[in-house]
Amino acid sequence: MSDDVNIDFDGDGDWDDYETETLEDGTTAYTHYDDEGNIDSIALDEDGDGYIDALAVDSDGDGELDALQEDVDGDGLMDTETSFEDLGYEPGEDSTEEPVAPGLLGTELPMGDDPAATDEPADTPPAEDPVGDNPVVPNPFVN
């Protein structure tokens, strides 16, 4: 899929303009900007089916992405939302440039090594769902 995907980023019922980028892993990122030119959301289609799998958003409108919404059942609608803070992302105090989204577009989450990148099994089990009603979904921003 490419720029022909219809996405309503702001929920007003109209399709919105966005920029498209294909990431190294084949994921397509659709970036939407607010009226001030700040990125207010990045939608990710991880498997090329035209449905959005994850959405990084500026939930409070302050010009910084701060939450990750995820589609857990494959219908393209976001089912869960987790703050970047709860995902372990905190920008460095001495950073001069805020990452657009952790792990996306060349930035990394400061959460240690990716256990999937090694041949050895992870030492800890996957995180539990704090609410208990949603399956744990891998963070699409960590490669």
Domain spans of the chain, in order of start: 1-134
6-27: pLDDT as tens digits: 888 888 889 999 999 999 999 9
Assessment of whether the complete model's pTM goes beyond 0.85: no
| CA dihedral (59, 52, 2, 17) positive or negative | negative
Q: 106: which DSSP letter?
A: T
State how beta strands 67-70 and 80-83 pair: antiparallel
75-128: pLDDT as tens digits: 888 999 999 888 887 654 333 344 444 445 444 444 444 444 445 555 555 555
Coil, strand or helix at 117: helix
